[in-house]
Amino acid sequence: MSVTKKLPFSVNRNDSQTLVAQVSDGLRQAIVSGYYKVGEVLPSSYELVEKLGVSRIVTKAALRQLADEGFVMARPRIGSVVRDRAAKQWRGHVVFVSEVGDENYVQTVLADALLNRLTTAGYLMTWVSIPKTPQGRFDFSRLDAALAQSVDLVVTVLAWTHTLAWLARQKRPYVVFSEHREVPRSAVGCTWLDFNLALPDFAAACKAAGVKEVTHFYFWKPRTDASVVLRRAGIRVRNVPVKVDLSKGKLIGVKRAGMETFARMIAEGKLPRGTVCLIFDDYLASGELMAIACAGLKIPDDIQLVTFANKRLGPIYVRELTRMEFDARQAGEVLSDAVLEYLKTGVYPSNSVVGPVWVEGETMKTERKT
């Protein structure tokens, strides 16, 4: 039987970390701190379900991860027994830093890919999220605790200015996964997320199909140079900024704003038949697809649509979307290669770049003119 102890942690469903990561991190920290000692048996997956209010799929995965990392040994009819940590010699320790917020899909996939590669290579990885306090300030206490241990490298994903400034003051080597070229000088490297990679193919498809103008929808400063690339190809660009109400959450707000903007422009006749619309955000596109369906319009006969899409995460339409598709899993492999190269040589690759690819779907008429 497992030892009867109160769990020294809980889970937070609003945290950007997955439930599996939260449970495994909580148990791992309890072992490292000595709360669970060598030879003791951790609570079973069933006990963890009862105490944490999560599914058994989560608890089994967390216990399996600790076994893979060498913290526990799964013994039939006994449970997960804490191993002597000396039996598992980690080659190093990497801290993965993300920020609590609505957009957690990409960072979750990146973290999972990096964790798998680092564990296989013999490195321990700790995932730390940076939440906001009720007063709106950023709480770095979790990161302080992680950096109190021996750390070989910090990996930060899509970080805001405050996080980068904080890391610069810690005097620890850190790398950035960023969509901005302006990387802090204190960083030892960067894997750049270039949203422009698929634009030349899009421009070529437009030119081949005889497209004269593209209407570009966005809700914040565009992450692409669509106007520059398209105009260079002789195609006019009409930019349409979409105002988003964030009071009810970013993702819901973006979808609703896309739906309302598109519905209004359709009603006002501002989207003539055959208009090519570029929506470089999957949530914005989801809302605009709803507006098109409600108006009874057909794609691509009435409106042609090109959108951004995270692979395996929509947006969803009855026909295959013409899109610029970003594969977060593949990006995670590129990031992992770069991180492992740094851990091995002390030099972060200068050509570490990821981005979307062009996919010719059925929502834009891309056939070539004869």
What residues contact residue 177 under an 8 Å CB cut-off, 6+ apart? 110, 155, 156, 157, 158, 190, 191, 193, 335
- Residues forming a β-bridge with 81: 41, 73
What is the rounded distance in angstroms from the CA atom of residue 49 to the CA atom of residue 171?
A: 40
Task: Classify residue 224: in a domain, yes or no.
Answer: yes
Label residue 1 by pLDDT band (50, 70, 90): very low
Task: Classify residue 344: in a domain, yes or no.
Answer: no
Query: What confidence tens digit (pLDDT) does each residue in 92-133 have?
Result: 889 999 877 545 788 889 999 999 999 999 888 999 888 888
Residues 95 and 3 in one domain: no
Residues 108 and 16 in one domain: no
Residues 17 and 135 in one domain: no
Residues 221 and 287 in one domain: yes
Residues 141 and 177 in one domain: yes
Task: Classify residue 345: in a domain, yes or no.
Answer: no
Residues 218 and 306 in one domain: yes
Looking at residue 368, its pLDDT comes to 56
CATH code, 56: 1.10.10.10
Residues 127 and 173 in one domain: yes
pLDDT at position 52 over 50: yes
Domain tally, the chain: 3
Task: Classify residue 279: in a domain, yes or no.
Answer: yes
Residues 72 and 95 in one domain: no
What is the maximal distance between C-alpha atoms in the chain?
Answer: 77
- Domain finish residue from 152, 170, 193: 193
Give the burial string for 142-156 (b: 16+ CB within 10 Å, else e).
Answer: bbeebbeeebbbbbb
Query: What confidence tens digit (pLDDT) does each residue in 191-247 have?
Result: 999 989 999 999 999 999 999 999 999 987 666 778 899 999 999 999 999 999 988
What is the rounded distance in angstroms from the CA atom of residue 80 to the CA atom of residue 75?
A: 6
Residues 79 and 148 in one domain: no
Tokens of 53: 């209010």
- Residue 249 structural domain: 199-327
Tokens of 227: 């106007």
